[in-house]
Structure 1
């Protein structure tokens, strides 16, 4: 019989696997050159540093200030 710690470990493992799968999918998708918020081109340096980025630095800063860390699809 599983105790609370076992159930928590399973939940954490499932969450971690889902997050990693999502990151892998984002990294392998064709890079979109335009910010999904403002439509401006994402600078190549940002795309190289963070190939999963869907927003320019300015829009990402705004999202972080507003607490919107959740990726929208």
Structure 2
């Protein structure tokens, strides 16, 4: 099917790229290594139960929630361009 300037399969490529980006962000969010004893953001002590439950914890619960909200706000927009921007 002809779609103007877009190559065949461009829509699927865009979908694949969006999924790949989400997978990469999820992998980066996984903890690695030993957990910190103190939050890297505010300096408060991270509870022992949190450090034992999650590997590689770097932030207290409040700071982690704030970071998650910040990242979630930007993850809904496809940076590679929307259909509206391609029509202009």
Please say whether Structure 1 and Structure 2 have the same fold, judged by a TM-score greater than 0.5.
yes
The answer to whether the aligner puts 1:7 opposite 2:9 as a matched pair is no
> Which residue of 15, 18, 29 maps to 1:23?
29
The TM-score normalised by the length of structure 2 is 0.50
Given the superposition, is the C-alpha separation of residues 18 and 31 from structure 1 closer, same or farther in structure 2, using an over 3 Å criterion? same
Root-mean-square deviation (CA), in Å?
2.7
**Greater share of helix:** 1
> Deviation digits for residues 7-65 of structure 1, max 9, x if unmatched?
232112321331243134xx22332111112212201111223334322234445x26x
2:58 is the counterpart of 1:51? no
Unaligned 5+ segments in structure 1 are none
Aligned residues: 64
